[in-house]
Amino acid sequence: MRNLYIITCILVLISCEKEKATNNVVSTQSDVLRDLSLNVYLSTYENLSLRTNKFHQDVQSFINNPTQENLDLCRSGWKSAREAWENSEAWLFGPVSTNSIDPSIDTWPVDFIRLDSVLSSTAVFDNTYINNLEESLKGFHPIEYILFGFNGNKSANQITSRQKEYLLALSENLRQLTLDLHNSWALQGGNYVTEILNAGSSNLFPSKLSAYQEIANAMIGICDEVANGKIGDVFTTLDSMGEESPFAKNSMVDFKNNILGVEAVYLGNINGSDNKGMEDFVRMYNLSLDGKIKQKISQSKAALAQITLPFGRAIFEQPIQVQQAIDAINSLKTELEEGLLPLIQMHVK
């Protein structure tokens, strides 16, 4: 009888430990979704909205007092907003996609022929007119072209009155679209964030697995776009006019911020915060994979840092470094595809 009692106790303890482990897994999976949704995704969109609002104010100041100093403030404001946007491209799902906000604010290259036609027209540049324009005529890049000029050295007195009208309308449209994007996620707005928080019982994410796969595929997608689209396509064709932010000489910064966005999702860390990210899920099951993903992120950042020239020159003058960056980011993509995604499919329900 004593032996039976001991065996029973052991079985009860084992059962309790298994239940405790299961509860910890479920809790961690939910915590990752919570922290990413609130402290990375929503926080970044709020930051983006604040920065585009400040940029619009800078444009208004420049138009009222078109000094070189005020133009420089506009340029800095554009780059600041651009940073938050490029970080957020590591999660191009939800309203940014379904509401076509991404193509409305970040289509390139600029259509110069159509742009000249718009500027020479007598159209009133109100928000309705801007919204109805084709995507290559609005958003970050036509703004970039007006602010910096083709060679990046435009002076304040070279910006015409008509360009100022268009710049003001474009900056207002950018401000409104990024505000809409933030509101679509916000708890007090469209509340998309709750769809992820309630993954497993929400309309868009009937299981936690579907939410985790969306997150992982977005990380994979931006790695593919940076390595094989933003960098690779331009490098293959040696067509610098196809680069993302040529007028501000900001393309390399864009690429780096895309990878920093991937890192933020993996670590749950953006703007100095320290929350649960995908690493907390991975570390429950595979410490080796966690180390590999972090190593690939570091290698991608290091490879991009080795390109010391503006991207439009680097494709000609630093081809080895450009190819190494492509290879490093593709290696990160592969690790996410062949390591992270299968781990999610195996352990998340």
Model confidence over 27-75: pLDDT tens digits? 689 999 999 999 999 999 999 999 999 999 999 999 999 999 999 999 9
pLDDT digits (tens, 9 = 90+) for 92-145: 999 999 999 999 999 999 988 899 999 999 999 999 999 999 999 999 999 999
Residue spans of the domains in the chain: they are 30-347
The pLDDT value recorded for residue 112 is: 86
pLDDT > 90? residue 12:
no
H-helix segments, the chain: 2-35, 43-64, 68-88, 95-98, 101-105, 112-120, 127-132, 140-148, 161-185, 192-197, 208-224, 232-237, 251-267, 278-283, 287-305, 311-317, 319-335, 341-347
Contact 105, 178 (CB under 8 A): yes
What whole-number distance in Å separates Cα of residue 245 and Cα of residue 313? 13
- How remote is the C-alpha of 175 from its chain's centroid? 17
38-344-21-284 Cα dihedral, nearest 10 degrees: -80
The pLDDT value recorded for residue 209 is: 97
30-347 fold: A middle domain of Talin 1 (1.20.1420)
Written as six digits, the tokens of 134 are 């084709």
Rounded to 5 degrees, φ, ψ at 205 are -125, 85
The pLDDT value recorded for residue 269 is: 86
pLDDT digits (tens, 9 = 90+) for 246-283: 999 999 999 999 999 999 999 998 767 678 999 999 99
Place of tokens 């190593």: 295
pLDDT digits (tens, 9 = 90+) for 145-184: 999 999 999 999 999 999 999 999 999 999 999 999 999 9
The pLDDT value recorded for residue 28 is: 84
pLDDT > 50? residue 291:
yes
What amino acid occupies position 241?
A: M
pLDDT digits (tens, 9 = 90+) for 302-313: 999 999 999 999
pLDDT > 60? residue 10:
no
Rounded to 5 degrees, φ, ψ at 275 are -125, 180
Give 297's pLDDT tier (boundaries 50, 70, 90): very high
pLDDT digits (tens, 9 = 90+) for 187-243: 998 999 999 999 999 999 999 999 999 999 999 999 999 999 999 999 999 998 899
Contact 40, 277 (CB under 8 A): yes
Q: What is the pTM of this model?
A: 0.91
Give 19's pLDDT tier (boundaries 50, 70, 90): very low
Written as six digits, the tokens of 188 are 């007090």
Which DSSP string corresponds to 183-202? Answer: HHHSTTTT-HHHHHHTTTSS
What amino acid occupies position 280?
A: D
